Amino acid sequence: MIEANLPLLVPLTLLIPALLIPLIGLRAPGAAYPLALAAVLASIPLAGFGLFRVIAGGPISYTLGGWEAPIGIEFVLDPLASFLTLLVTVVSCLVLIHARRVASVEHPDKRVPYYSLVLLLLAGFCGILSTGDLFNLYVFLEISSLAGYGLVAIGDKRSPVAAYRYLILGSVGTGFYLLGTGFIYVMSGSLNMADVARILPHILHQPPVLAGLILMVTGIGLKTALFPLHFWLPDAYSSAPSASSALLAPLGTKIGAYVLIRVLFFVFDPAAVEQRLPITSVIAWLSAGGVLYGSLMALAQQELKRMLAYSSVAQIGYIGLGLGMANPLGFTGAVLHILNHALMKAALFLVAGNLRAQLGHSNIAAMDHRLSRQMPWSMAAFVVGALSMIGLPPTAGFFSKWYLVLGGIQGSYWVFVAVILLGGLLNTLYFFRVIERVYLPFRKGLPGHAAANGEPGIVENKEARFSMLAPTLILAAALLVLGLTSSFLVNRVIQPMIPAGLL
């Protein structure tokens, strides 16, 4: 019974409490957090069960109201969707546990809307993942986007401006997607993804179909912050409150990447499209630019969250590179990087949140070696996250890059291989800049020159409290565990989701 309903169950588990929280919050603001946490906690076993069933028995389909597709709206849980649903629920659960304290420090009077918006955002994400309908996907995209604008706007004085920019550009992005969907609908007469995928080979030669694809990819590219459509991201992520950015940065762009995969590889056939339109090559080349641009910009930032935001631009570039290679190894690397980057970025943003909560800032220039004594565990988590971002074995980050490099060599994309590896070195530069500052004695105003006496003396312990530290450390530990188990994941989970068009 549960099994058949699984595709819609996770979004609903999150959506209904999202609507309840404002009502209950009127009377009892304190109930907002337990309710939100309970909803996310309940969604994890559902998502886990979904992944288990899908891997064991193939995709699960659910037709809304019993109206069969293509007339009715279909929800489909396939390996890719169920895997990412689990990822979204687990990461958001950890972030939510962490957020309780951060939210009460950074925006104490806005907790009820915050938790409601978080659940709305997650409901939107899970809806995007499990829908099998192009227009329905747009609806969920808007739900999650609107919640996202709200989450950014909750922050400090600058955040409404960033949220406004985010709103305008996000709306342009979803608008492009909707327009593209309209083109496809007019030409194919269907909105159901599987149905459209069946019809497309017959009409692919018609210009409106290709125009529709370009519009959709452009729109999704904006939502994914695919270089050069990334310009809204650094502002939005760095001025959003820490509790929001820790949720949006690891998950938001990944959902965009998912939609890109869904449209490009499952609705369209990349090989057939490539004969008429070099869309995967364009994505790959732009992504390569993004890797370099994002890394260089990250190097120039003085604020930790802003640095991490630019780093996201670079990491999305890695995902785009893997997809753009359009071969199984590149695809594997891209999906693995979606997982790894979500965990790494979550861990790093949680550390940034810990810093903001405990020190009141996350300014790199104001950090010094006392920090490693004041917050030893948070900084240790930062180091693990950084090593994974750099891509050093045996952390998870190494293995996604390993598959990307293998994919690059398989397709003889030598430039991309060089970019992937060079990006790793640039990562080293901007992360070790922070690590050196935190662990080694630097005299103020003299970057690169250490003070003669390295002893920090007696320092006050300012470590974040347990509810913030535990999620941070769990994520950091997961990076090590996932590194060593990545092969299992690739064989059992990612292999079944490689689209037929790539094999």
Partner 1 sequence: MNDLSTYPSAVPLLAILVSAASVPLIGISARRPNLREFWTLLAAGAKFALVLSLLPSALVNRVAETRLFEISPGIDLTLRADPFGVFFALIASGLWILTSFYSIGYVRGLKEKHQTRYFASFALCLSATLGVAFAANLLTFVIFFEILTISTYPLVIHKQTPEAIAAGRKYLAFTLTAGVVLIAAMAAVLQLTGTLDFQPGGLRAFQDLSPVAVKILFGMFLAGVGVKGAIMPLHAWLPAAMAAPTPVSALLHAVAVVKSGVFGVVRVADFLFGPETLGRFGLNEVMLWLAGSTILLASCLAFAEDNLKRRLAYSTVGHLSYVVLGAGLLSPTGLVGGLMHIANHATMKIVLFFCAGAIYVNAHKEKISELDGIGRAMPWTMGAFALASLGLAGVPPVNGFVSKWYLGLGALEGGSVAVVTILLISGLLNAGYFVPIVYRAFFKQSEQFNSIGEASAWMVVPLLLAAGLSALLGLMPDLFFHFFSLAKQIAAQVMEASIP
Q: For residue 446, give the 3-state DSSP assignment.
A: coil
**Cβ nearer to partner 1, comparing 421 with 502:** 421
- How far is residue 350's CA from residue 264's CA, in Å, rounded to a whole number? 32
- How far is residue 2's CA from residue 463's CA, in Å, rounded to a whole number? 43
> Is 458 a binder of partner 1 (CB under 8 A)?
no
**Cβ nearer to partner 1, comparing 302 with 491:** 491
> Is 486 a binder of partner 1 (CB under 8 A)?
yes
Distance of closest approach, residue 400 Cβ to partner 1, in angstroms: 12
> Is 377 a binder of partner 1 (CB under 8 A)?
no
**Cβ nearer to partner 1, comparing 467 with 495:** 495
Kindly report whether the peptide bond that precedes residue 394 is cis, defined as omega within 30 degrees of 0: yes
**Cβ nearer to partner 1, comparing 365 with 450:** 450
> Is 38 a binder of partner 1 (CB under 8 A)?
no
**Cβ nearer to partner 1, comparing 172 with 480:** 480
Footprint on residues 174-213 left by partner 1 (CB under 8 A): none
Beta bridge partners of 61: 76
Distance of closest approach, residue 495 Cβ to partner 1, in angstroms: 9
**Which stretches within 107-158 are classed as H helix?**
111-130, 134-153
Burial of 196 per CB tally in 10 Å (0-12, 13-18, 19+)? buried
- How far is residue 169's CA from residue 159's CA, in Å, rounded to a whole number? 15
Distance of closest approach, residue 250 Cβ to partner 1, in angstroms: 24
Distance of closest approach, residue 492 Cβ to partner 1, in angstroms: 11
- Which part of the chain contacts partner 1 (CB under 8 A), choosing from 137-145, 348-356, 360-368, 416-424? 416-424
Q: Are 243 and 356 in contact (CB under 8 A)?
A: no
> Is 490 a binder of partner 1 (CB under 8 A)?
yes
> Is 406 a binder of partner 1 (CB under 8 A)?
yes
> Is 410 a binder of partner 1 (CB under 8 A)?
yes
Chain centre distance of CA 74: 25
Could you give the count of Cα atoms lying within 13 Å of 168 in the half-sphere of its Cβ? Answer: 7
Distance of closest approach, residue 339 Cβ to partner 1, in angstroms: 16
Give me the phi and psi of 63, to 5 degrees please.
-105, 125
Distance of closest approach, residue 184 Cβ to partner 1, in angstroms: 36
Pick the closest to residue 306 from 397, 242, 384 (CA basis). 242
Contact residue for partner 1 among 359, 392, 470, 474 (CB under 8 A): 392
> Is 399 a binder of partner 1 (CB under 8 A)?
yes
**Cβ nearer to partner 1, comparing 25 with 424:** 424
> Is 417 a binder of partner 1 (CB under 8 A)?
yes
> Which whole-number Å values give the CA distances from 372 to 45, 249, 329, in the listed order?
37, 25, 39
What letter would DSSP give residue 445?
T
Pick the closest to residue 63 from 71, 54, 53 (CA basis). 71
Distance of closest approach, residue 407 Cβ to partner 1, in angstroms: 9
- Which part of the chain contacts partner 1 (CB under 8 A), choosing from 25-33, 77-85, 346-354, 434-442? 434-442
Matching residue, tokens 């050069």: 228
> Is 487 a binder of partner 1 (CB under 8 A)?
yes
**Cβ nearer to partner 1, comparing 237 with 403:** 403
Structure tokens at 466: 């347990």
Pick the closest to residue 378 from 404, 402, 359 (CA basis). 359
- Which part of the chain contacts partner 1 (CB under 8 A), choosing from 158-166, 195-203, 253-261, 451-459? 451-459
Q: Are 96 and 37 in contact (CB under 8 A)?
A: yes
**Cβ nearer to partner 1, comparing 194 with 422:** 422
Q: What is the largest CA-CA distance in the chain?
A: 75
Contact residue for partner 1 among 421, 470, 480, 502 (CB under 8 A): 421
> Is 425 a binder of partner 1 (CB under 8 A)?
yes
Distance of closest approach, residue 471 Cβ to partner 1, in angstroms: 22
Instruction: Please count the helices (runs of H) and the strands (runs of E) in the chain.
Output: 19, 2
Burial of 456 per CB tally in 10 Å (0-12, 13-18, 19+)? middle
Distance of closest approach, residue 332 Cβ to partner 1, in angstroms: 9
> Is 468 a binder of partner 1 (CB under 8 A)?
no
State the residues that interact with partner 1 by CB under 8 A: 387, 390, 392-394, 398-399, 401-403, 405-406, 408-410, 417, 421-422, 424-425, 428, 432, 436, 440-441, 449-450, 452, 454-455, 484, 486-488, 490-491
